[in-house]
């Protein structure tokens, strides 16, 4: 495929597309792109089928079907004590990806700056570029993925418009602590910044608890919180997400969304509304099973001699392959299918300057335990 020019030149092919094609071409076990190899709860799938059969197949309202906007508002109230008006303060989006892009396009003017913690989910820098905004990085450092508050302050300028925070964090699995969230909130309030949060892993938490930035002092009315159903319910292909925030900010996101997709798949919205309404009873079993798979896989990687940064959340684990004599994560991942028949993702691509992530590799453990065991057995070839 010809590479794009102009401001999208650095964003030709996502690492997930590259690594999934490699997995398909080589018949490898794909622990690269993060998607489960089992479907989510039957009753949510049945709700989608029922919505299709009931004729919910034409354009929904651009903001989302009322049942889903109400279910999202109820979820935010039940889980976090946050109140949003489903009419004006909740917007359904085509996955979190569109929510984030529409927020950046709607909230930033060309030349505005956006502060992002790196390693960062790949769509952030691309979406900021589409908005004409400039991203400024604050680096998280292993082993605890800590950051220096001075780095955050140094990343600010008079053009800073917003801080984009992903917690729980992909790729590291970090949950930002209350102290870190307080510091970010303090900066946002002092400098009158908007916060855009990506909370797609809010329910895949194994240690501690997720605290939305919007719950911190002064933040509710300056935060757009984005999440989606893909991870929570194991239906990543449905692409149902949402954004919540004060009406004025959500109105800007809606304005952008209108001309990106206009509206989002109708029957899946009804199904996700049913899932959110059922709540914990559907989410808890997945969380428990993912925690066990995290431990199975992390223990196995450790036994192979990799340095493992065991995640408190998400379904990714980051390792440092320097401990097995590797010095380049991208080269390691490109060669891994031929060596072992396994695909992983180099975390170096999630940094602006790849140096701090040069030897970091991310593995997705949201796969059946037998597949994880098979992958670990194949990875034994690394030692030979």
* Binding partner of residue 254 among ligand PMP, ligand GLN, none, CB cut-off 5 to 8 Å per kind: none
* Binds ligand PMP (CB under 6 A): choice among 71, 101, 175, 200: 200
96 binds ligand PMP (CB under 6 A): yes
Query: By C-beta, is 250 or 382 nearer to ligand PMP?
Result: 250
- Minimum CB distance to ligand PMP, residue 34 (Å): 6
11 binds ligand GLN (CB under 6 A): no
* Binding partner of residue 16 among ligand PMP, ligand GLN, none, CB cut-off 5 to 8 Å per kind: ligand GLN
- Which tokens belong to 274? 């049913």
Distance CA 273, CA 279 (A): 10
* Binding partner of residue 241 among ligand GLN, ligand PMP, none, CB cut-off 5 to 8 Å per kind: ligand PMP
The torsion of the CA quartet 368, 369, 372, 374, rounded to 10 degrees, works out to -100
Query: By C-beta, is 155 or 165 nearer to ligand PMP?
Result: 165
- Which tokens belong to 80? 């976090």
170 binds ligand GLN (CB under 6 A): yes
Q: Any residues with CB less than 8 A from the CB of 252 and at least 6 apart, and which?
A: 103, 106, 107
- Rg (C-alpha) for the chain, rounded Å, is 20
- Minimum CB distance to ligand GLN, residue 366 (Å): 9
Q: What does each C-alpha distance from 57 to 94, 129, 237 come to in angstroms? A: 16, 34, 17
Q: What does each C-alpha distance from 254 to 100, 331, 343 come to in angstroms? A: 11, 41, 37
Q: Which stretch binds ligand PMP (CB under 6 A): 142-150, 226-234, 264-272, 364-372?
A: 226-234
Q: What stretch of H or E contains 190?
A: helix 178-190
95 binds ligand PMP (CB under 6 A): yes
166 binds ligand PMP (CB under 6 A): yes
Distance CA 99, CA 90 (A): 11
* Binds ligand PMP (CB under 6 A): choice among 97, 266, 319, 348: 97
* Residue at shortest CB range from ligand PMP: 95
């Amino acid at each position: 495929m010809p590479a794009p020019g102009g401001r999208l030149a650095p964003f030709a092919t996502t690492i997930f597309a590259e690594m999934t094609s490699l997995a398909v071409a080589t018949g490898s076990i794909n622990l690269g792109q993060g998607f489960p190899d089992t479907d989510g709860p039957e009753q949510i799938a049945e709700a989608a089928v029922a919505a299709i059969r009931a004729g919910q197949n034409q354009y929904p309202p651009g903001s989302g079907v009322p049942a889903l906007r109400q279910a999202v508002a109820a979820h935010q109230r039940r889980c976090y004590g946050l109140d949003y008006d489903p009419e004006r303060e909740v917007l359904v989006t085509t996955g979190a990806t569109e929510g984030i892009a529409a927020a950046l396009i709607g909230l930033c003017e060309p030349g505005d700056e956006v502060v992002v913690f790196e390693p960062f989910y790949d769509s952030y820098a691309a979406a900021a570029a589409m908005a004409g905004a400039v991203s400024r990085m604050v680096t998280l450092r292993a082993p605890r993925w800590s950051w220096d508050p001075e780095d955050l302050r140094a990343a600010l300028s008079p053009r800073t418009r917003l801080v984009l925070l992903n917690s729980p964090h992909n790729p590291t699995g970090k949950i930002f602590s209350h102290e870190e969230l307080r510091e970010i909130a303090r900066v946002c309030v002092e400098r009158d910044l908007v916060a855009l949060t990506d909370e797609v892993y809010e329910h895949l938490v194994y240690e501690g608890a997720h605290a939305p930035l919007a719950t911190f002092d002064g933040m509710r009315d300056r935060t757009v919180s984005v999440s989606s159903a893909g991870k929570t319910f194991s239906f990543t292909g449905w692409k149902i997400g949402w954004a919540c925030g004060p009406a004025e900010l959500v109105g800007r996101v809606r304005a952008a969304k209108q001309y990106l997709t206009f509206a989002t798949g109708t029957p899946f919205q009804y199904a996700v509304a049913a899932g959110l309404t059922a709540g914990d009873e559907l989410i808890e079993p997945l969380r428990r099973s993912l925690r066990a798979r995290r431990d199975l896989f992390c223990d196995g990687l450790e036994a192979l001699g990799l340095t493992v940064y065991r995640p408190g959340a998400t379904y990714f684990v980051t390792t440092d392959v320097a401990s097995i004599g590797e010095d380049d994560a991208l080269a390691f991942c490109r060669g891994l299918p031929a060596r072992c028949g396994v695909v992983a993702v180099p975390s170096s691509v999630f940094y602006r300057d790849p140096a701090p992530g040069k030897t970091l590799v991310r593995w997705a453990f949201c796969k059946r335990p037998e597949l994880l065991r098979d992958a670990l057995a194949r990875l034994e070839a690394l030692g030979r």
